[in-house]
Amino acid sequence: MESLAFSVLYTLPEFARGVVIRRPAMVGLMARLRTYDAAQRFCMRLRVRHGGRSVYVRSLRGKVLLLLSQGDVERVLSGSDEVFSLRTKEKARGFSPSQPDSLLLSRGEARLDRHRFNDAVLQPGTVPHSLAPRVERVVSEELDGIFGREPGAVDWGRLRAGHSRAVLRLTLGDAARDDVRILDALNALRREGNWLGLRPWRNGRVRRLRRVMMTGIERHLAAAGGESLAETGEGSLGGSAETGEGSLAGLAASAPATAGTCPAGQVPHWLMALEVLGTTVFGPTLALLAGHPEHYERARAEALDPAGDRAFLRACLYEALRLWPIVPTMPRVVTAPVAWHGATLPAGTDLVIPVGLHTRNPQIDYADAFTPEAWLDGRAAADWWIVPFSAGPGRCPGSDFGGTVGAAALAALLRQYDFRPVAPRLGPGRPLPKALDPFTLRLYAAPAMR
């Protein structure tokens, strides 16, 4: 019965929402059905019934070890990403259509090699990123007047379009600004990935879409750093980076690479991770700020400060990601036998970390409240229940750059507009909902008083 309940309350709703790219209609339906609430109550009962230990369940993924212990989560995420591999069968089926050569799906020497390349470009742990001034300028240009000069309802489509142009410029250079075919193809491939390889008759379409996407990416990379960057030549990929100056493509031109790095193969993940900010993160963050006047005033003051470090704005963004993670489930697979609480986990054991449930664990005293200061005082960083970007060797190397881009976008919007909540109202008076539909949020924006 535990396995059936887990499948009905957690696995099926997660597949319905979309494991690679969200299906807006299903996100809304699952939010109305409050499936996250039911799943969290179920996992709390499991935790009590099994004495706080992780437990095996059967789901659509097959037999998996559901990590309900904070110590187990810490051990897996802080352990070797070769032993606790990110490349599960499900993840490979979901992401292979859009990024078969990415760091995400790599193992062994290829993963180490691609990690070095990604780290050199994305600069994890470096805040601000070396492109931070350029990020501020590009984002401000693309979001200037994005909601018009008259008061009215926020048009999320316009925000997404402006943000997408900024993403293309910051990733591939200014010449890519209007090359929307790249993002259109990427998102179509992600939608194919949602089916986890269950539609093999569409493989021809997948190949055509990937060809369109990669041709565009390789063209812009070649302009940024010479033909070798779009290919997979030996050595450091040099070049003037003149066309791609001020972009990740420009930095990639001097990043360390080998014959197996496949620089162009890393770009789809960069584009995906940055674009999702405009699709599903900015809206909830603005709605939270609009419903919390004290935090709103602090965020706006930071946005208006040209010398500000954007720390509070990043904290607001990260807190929205804690409350409603864009990656609510982190699967891992054991690749070699591992000692585990007096027993052995055999190679091939699938693990599931229900991040979206753990971040709302009642043991966290601010679980259901908007608490951006937790990202400034060290509480969130020290808590292994809270891992919106994963942690340890498998942590997303672009999380800090994403925070820089996201904070710049929030600053650009708050400088220009005053936001007022319409529906739902996400204030401090009651616990925040476990699930939120970012596609139907309603906010009112008026030009800010100068």
* Confidence check: pLDDT of 235 > 50: no
Instruction: Tell me: is residue 43 an annotated ligand-binding position.
Output: no
**Digit-coded pLDDT (tens) for 330-385:** 999 999 999 999 999 999 999 999 999 999 999 999 999 999 999 999 999 999 99
- Verdict on whether the full-model pTM lies above 0.85: yes
What pLDDT is attached to residue 244? 62
Sign of CA dihedral 153, 158, 164, 170: negative
Nearest Cα to Cα of residue 267 among 234, 207, 218, 335: 218
Q: Which residues contact 351 (CB under 8 A, 6 or more apart)?
A: 64, 65, 67, 76, 84, 331, 332, 333, 334
Can you give the residue ranges of every domain in the chain? 2-447
The secondary structure of residue 176, as a DSSP letter, is: G
pLDDT tens for 151-184 read 999 999 999 999 999 999 999 999 999 999 999 9
Instruction: For 299-345, write each residue's pLDDT tens digit.
Output: 999 999 988 899 999 999 999 999 999 999 999 999 999 999 999 99
pLDDT tens digits for 81-131?
Answer: 999 999 999 999 999 999 999 999 999 999 999 999 999 999 999 998 999
Q: Is the pLDDT of residue 243 over 80?
A: no
CATH superfamily of the domain spanning 2-447: Cytochrome P450 (1.10.630.10)
| Sheet of 417-423, strand order | 152-153, 442-447, 417-423
Q: Which residue has the tokens 């760091």?
A: 103
Give the pLDDT of residue 233.
39
Q: Averaged over 236-240, what is the pLDDT?
A: 37
